[in-house]
């Protein structure tokens, strides 16, 4: 379990140092801002969708390693997914980071399972879920800043 934890930490640090899809997007079909006042994390999420499918995602912003790595891994995980699939994944992700310690993450979360340990640190849950709350707002066409409550 400790090896696994170390591996998870490696993935998070790698995505923090080299975030994927870290850029502003030209011609985005939706854009939303997220802010987590507890930690100071902020991000802007861009997405391009065609019908019901998410074609592309990118983000910009600054924050702690967890918020940045979470946004980076989320943009990778959701490319090509339908909006419904994205919201389903958010539900599973949220369940994982607010769940109980030692609970097996849903297999469909794939690489996102690296955040399973976050449930041990309640103050970090908002960091890990900020990108997802922002995504939800972007998908629902809400222009306002995503709050990390709930």
Which member of 42, 67, 75, 134 binds Zn ion (CB under 5 A)?
67
Whichever of 54 and 115 has its CB closer to Zn ion, that residue is 115
The answer to whether residue 125 forms part of the interface with Zn ion (CB under 5 A) is no
Give the nearest distance from C-beta 37 to Zn ion in angstroms.
Answer: 10
Residues that bind Zn ion (rule: CB under 5 A) add up to a total of 5
Sheet holding 41-50, edge to edge: 30-36, 41-50, 53-62
Give the nearest distance from C-beta 89 to Zn ion in angstroms.
Answer: 21
Q: Judge whether 64 and 127 are in contact, CB under 8 Å.
A: yes
Give the nearest distance from C-beta 123 to Zn ion in angstroms.
Answer: 9
- What whole-number distance in Å separates Cα of residue 78 and Cα of residue 82? 8
Query: What six digits make up the tokens of 100?
Result: 């109980």
Whichever of 120 and 140 has its CB closer to Zn ion, that residue is 120
- For residue 113, report the phi and psi dihedrals to the nearest 5 degrees: -65, -15
Q: Draw the binding track, 16-55, toward Zn ion (x: CB under 5 A; -: no contact).
A: -----------------------x-x--------------
Facing residues of 7 across strands? none
């Amino acid at each position: 379990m400790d090896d696994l934890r170390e591996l998870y930490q490696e993935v998070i640090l790698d995505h923090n140092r080299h975030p994927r899809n870290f850029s502003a997007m030209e011609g985005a079909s939706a854009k939303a801002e997220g802010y987590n006042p507890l930690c100071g994390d902020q991000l802007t999420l861009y997405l391009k969708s065609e019908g019901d499918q998410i074609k592309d995602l990118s983000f910009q912003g600054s924050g702690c390693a967890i918020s940045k790595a979470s946004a980076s891994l989320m943009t990778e995980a959701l490319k090509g997914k339908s909006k419904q699939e994205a919201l389903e994944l958010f539900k599973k992700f949220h369940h994982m980071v607010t769940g109980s310690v030692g609970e097996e993450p849903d297999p469909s979360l794939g690489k996102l399972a690296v955040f399973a340990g976050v449930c041990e640190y309640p103050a970090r849950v908002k960091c890990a879920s900020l990108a997802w709350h922002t995504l939800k707002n972007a998908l629902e066409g809400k222009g306002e800043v995503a709050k990390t409550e709930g």
